[in-house]
Structure 1
Amino acid sequence: MNAPLLRGTGPELLLAHGAGSDVQDSYGPLIDDLTEYRTVIGPDYPGSGSTPLPGRPLTLDELADHIVESAVRHGADTFAISGFSMGCSVAVRAAVRHPERVTALILSAGFAHPNPRLRLAVETWRALGRHLPESRELAAYLSLMVGGPEWLDERSTDEIEEQLTLFAGGLPPGADAQLALFEHIDVRPDLARIAVPTLVVSPLRDLLITPLHSRELADGIPGARLAALDCGHAIAAEEPAAWAALIRDFLTSVEETPGRVRG
């Protein structure tokens, strides 16, 4: 297992990044803020960063165990988990599989089960990635999907071109294998079993994973809090300070003790 991001002091916070991404891409602008009061542990999934893909399809259980094992290997017996996008499903599964270790959950721009619209969006992403990798077409599609409409409207031509260049730089080698999980993910049966404090963060302008999904997570987890941010899917690009503040305020407001799985 390759070394994860490991920075900061204080209680541990484990990060679960999105599919077709890595920890720096999903959380980069927040990390300095988070490490002021937390020890942040950020492993990349197999196929992202320097973590190799296995010679078989990925599973959600495998990703959940992967991030937990990474935290434990670096001395964290218990920890909160912040999940972003598909990382929310990973975090939920980790809390159910390892209740003795997980103390709290922050689920941002996530889903319990992809509805037909989300499946179509991911299907298009995968097709463009297979047939037009590192292309302007793929970069434009991802920009339109992850950027909030108002935020994109305010970008200059140079700023849009800079973003397209970033996206056209190529997806992680395991992006398609990670995105393939959208065909099978369903953590709806897990939600009622979550027994730790949970914050669900819903980006109101998200065109990729719409607010409906955040409501489903919040409604399904006993006692979950729901907070909104006025931005698109790419929270770290649009509202990093507000997102970091939500995470900080929630974690300082709850007493973090390992949970027990309900039922």
Structure 2
Amino acid sequence: MTNVSYRTINVDGVKVFYREAGSPDKPKLLLLHGFPSSGHMFRDLIPLLADRYHIIAPDLPGFGQSDLPGRGHSFDSIAETIDRFTEIVGFDRYAVYVFDYGAPTGFRLAVKHPERITAIISQNGNAYEEGLSEGWNPIQAYWQDASEENRNALKPFLEPESIAWQYTHGAPDIAKVSPDGYSLDSFYMTRPGAVDVQLDLFGDYKSNVALYPAFQTYFRTHKPRFLAVWGQNDPFFLPPGAEAFRRDIPDATVKFFDTGHFALETHAVEIAAAIRDFLG
């Protein structure tokens, strides 16, 4: 049995909730979740790695049990808070696992502090335009015209049916996908103000795409140890986005799994094994 601790700390006025497991004298591994989830998405992965690593999985600001900020929430502010969070919890050098929104968060940290990053694992965490599917078209329309009409057109992405679809689409057997994850995400979406925060982040995602060249420069310059573990049936982040990492990091390892966006829901054991082999 793995002992997981559930903690909350104050990060410059922002309450950040996090999960922690493993001995502090082990190599450090930071897990960064994506939309619309929380650190709960790592519930199956953490026990498979905690014997070898000191693991911390925060809920990003605006998600899960962490504070829900006001309007104008951005990926820059998320990264700034998580940067300070790592300093407060003593993560001075660490490997980082990034997924979805966790990718532009983690890549910002790597660009700012390349000396702190020992390795990167990207699970459907994109940094290349060829990785963006047509599923982004409604969101890109909002980038180009931040009208109320385009903003309201994105609200269906936040409905329970849509959140569940993100978990089940592309999974080889949806009976293997626990309803706990998407049900919890839908519950957190009912917090007052949560919808507007998420719509603001949809609009701000264009800042991540604008930073793709900077992320790629970091990859080419620093050549971090890199593992991509990708649900190949992801409706949002396509396999070419995973393959593109090799363009800037020729020694990157890329592994595809027959599942969708939330690959850990069906392939946590396989992904954990890939991480253990990769980190050594």
Q: Taking structure 1 as the reference length, what is the TM-score of the superposition?
A: 0.78
The 1:57/1:149 distance shift into structure 2, 3 A limit, reads: same
After superposition, the C-alpha distances for 1:77-110 in whole angstroms (9 at most, x for unaligned) are: 1101000112122222211111121111001112
Say whether 1:246 aligns with 2:274.
Answer: yes
Task: Please give the alpha-carbon distance, in whole angstroms, between the structure 1 residues aligned to 2:182 and 2:53.
Answer: 33
Q: Specify which of 90, 95, 115 is matched with residue 100 of structure 1.
A: 115
Task: Please give the alpha-carbon distance, in whole angstroms, between the structure 1 residues aligned to 2:33 and 2:179.
Answer: 25
Structure 2 unaligned blocks of 5 or more: 1-10, 143-150
**Counterpart in 1 of 2:255?**
227
Say whether 1:140 aligns with 2:158.
Answer: no
Q: Specify which of 2, 7, 11 is matched with residue 27 of structure 2.
A: 11
TM-superposed CA distance for 1:237, in Å, is 0.9
How many residue pairs get matched? 243
Task: Please give the alpha-carbon distance, in whole angstroms, between the structure 2 residues aligned to 1:52 and 1:161.
Answer: 24
TM-superposed CA distance for 1:179, in Å, is 3.3
C-alpha contact 2:79 2:108 (8 A) present in aligned 1: yes
The 1:250/1:72 distance shift into structure 2, 3 A limit, reads: same
Say whether 1:237 aligns with 2:260.
Answer: no
Write the letter of the residue equivalent to 1:169.
F
Question: Relative contact order: is structure 1 or structure 2 higher (C-alpha 8 Å, sep ≥ 6)?
Answer: 1
After superposition, the C-alpha distances for 1:164-208 in whole angstroms (9 at most, x for unaligned) are: 755543527243343333232123212232322111122112123
Q: Secondary structure at the match of 1:104?
A: strand
Q: State the superposition RMSD in angstroms.
A: 3.0
Q: Taking structure 2 as the reference length, what is the TM-score of the superposition?
A: 0.74
Task: Please give the alpha-carbon distance, in whole angstroms, between the structure 2 residues aligned to 1:93 and 1:165.
Answer: 30
**Counterpart in 2 of 1:191?**
216
Structure 1 unaligned blocks of 5 or more: 253-263
The alignment-based identity, stated in percent, is 25
Q: Specify which of 37, 42, 64 is matched with residue 57 of structure 2.
A: 42
Q: Secondary structure at the match of 1:151?
A: coil
34-43 or 222-231: bigger deviation: 222-231
Q: Specify which of 152, 155, 176 is matched with residue 175 of structure 2.
A: 155
